[in-house]
């Protein structure tokens, strides 16, 4: 290792921005995925992203990301890296935990003592929306921070209900923090980024060079992270093929509580609620059922 490279390591080893550039570079390599990267770091305990990338390449990616963020009007953002004091240790419960993620907003919300993810279908019934608002309003009244994915449907209803109730919410998104999906949630995402907390593990450069079909795979992975960040997940309403079920399986694997509203069981066309119940999910009717199981009373 050259003296120049040694100097770079000494100066930049603990720099989140430097690690950001290395993370972006690793993701731009062929066959990069959350699984592949997790296996690399699992086989190299204590390693940082910058241990695998040339400093010149790191600088190039740092510059690119900063240019993208500047063009998107993002003036303030943060980066958290595995191994740093601020990295949430509970993320390591994921099968393929992320080494780095971006955030905007109030970082202190990550340390909320009560966090529950409220998720569901992108095409909810009117009753599903009403149940979401009632549930979230009640949870906020008990000091719970609401976590969701900023998708249309139940996610949107959960975030908005938390904000309207005067509570806090965390959005875990499937795009970079410089992008938004769906388009109609742009204003909601900005509100969360400025007044609450917005989190993304999605690499900026890889996302921008891929087509939308390939980028769709980032969304289920964010559900896994969303579950790991939360004490529990509540499913309000979901179909047999809903992406919400990815989070359900992740919650059970991560030893998180998984609650399913009673109305899901009452839908004769659904088989997944009973399958999940057989694996440990909890059927709930009222908010008190949730609070009791989590000892939130």
- Name the residue among 278, 224, 296, 218 with its Cα closest to residue 256: 224
Residue 101: C-alpha distances to residues 27, 39, 81, 201 (Å):
13, 17, 7, 4
Digit-coded pLDDT (tens) for 245-270 = 999 999 999 999 999 999 999 999 99
Q: What is the mean pLDDT of residues 122-141?
A: 97
Looking at residue 77, its pLDDT comes to 97
Catalogue all structural domains in the chain, each as residue range(s) with its CATH number: 3-104 (no CATH), 107-294 (3.40.50.450)
What is the side-by-side order of every strand in the sheet holding 100-105?
78-81, 100-105, 197-200, 169-173, 145-148, 115-119, 232-235, 257-261, 282-284
Looking at residue 10, its pLDDT comes to 39
Q: Is the pLDDT of residue 3 over 80?
A: no
Looking at residue 6, its pLDDT comes to 39
pTM of the predicted model as reported, rounded to 2 decimal places: 0.93
Distance between CA 139 and CA 123 in Å, rounded?
23
Confidence of residue 145 (pLDDT cuts 50, 70, 90): very high
Residue 81's SS3 state is strand
Q: Are 235 and 260 in contact (CB under 8 A)?
A: yes
What integer best gives the mean pLDDT of the chain?
A: 94
Distance between CA 128 and CA 132 in Å, rounded?
6
Looking at residue 36, its pLDDT comes to 97
Q: Are 219 and 174 in contact (CB under 8 A)?
A: yes
Digit-coded pLDDT (tens) for 173-195 = 999 999 999 999 999 999 999 99
Confidence of residue 14 (pLDDT cuts 50, 70, 90): low
């Amino acid at each position: 290792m050259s003296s120049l490279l040694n100097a770079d390591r000494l100066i930049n080893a603990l720099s989140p921005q430097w690690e950001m550039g290395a993370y972006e570079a690793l993701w731009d390599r062929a066959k990069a995925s959350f699984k592949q990267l997790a296996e690399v770091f699992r086989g190299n305990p204590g390693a940082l992203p910058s241990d695998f990338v040339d400093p010149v390449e790191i600088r190039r990616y740092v510059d690119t990301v900063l240019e993208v963020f500047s063009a998107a009007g993002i003036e303030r953002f943060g980066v958290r890296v595995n191994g740093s004091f601020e990295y949430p240790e509970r993320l390591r419960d994921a099968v393929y935990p992320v080494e780095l993620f971006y955030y905007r907003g109030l970082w202190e919300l990550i340390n909320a003592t009560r966090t529950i993810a409220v998720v569901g279908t992108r095409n909810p019934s009117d009753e599903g929306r009403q149940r979401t608002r009632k549930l979230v309003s009640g949870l906020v009244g008990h000091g719970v921070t609401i976590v969701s994915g900023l998708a249309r449907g139940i996610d949107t209803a959960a975030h908005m209900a938390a904000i309207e109730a005067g509570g806090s919410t965390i959005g875990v998104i499937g795009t970079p923090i410089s992008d938004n999906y769906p388009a109609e949630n742009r204003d909601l995402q900005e509100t969360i980024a400025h007044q609450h907390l917005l989190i993304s593990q999605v690499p900026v450069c890889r996302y921008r060079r891929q087509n939308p079909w390939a980028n769709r795979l980032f969304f289920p992975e964010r559900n896994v992270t969303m579950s790991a960040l939360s004490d529990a997940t509540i499913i309000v309403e979901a179909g047999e093929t809903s992406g919400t079920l990815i989070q359900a399986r992740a919650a059970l694997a991560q030893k998180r509580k998984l609650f399913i509203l009673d109305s899901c069981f009452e839908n004769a066309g659904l088989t997944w609620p009973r399958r999940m119940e057989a694996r440990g999910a909890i059927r709930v009717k009222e908010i008190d059922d949730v609070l009791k199981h989590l000892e939130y009373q």
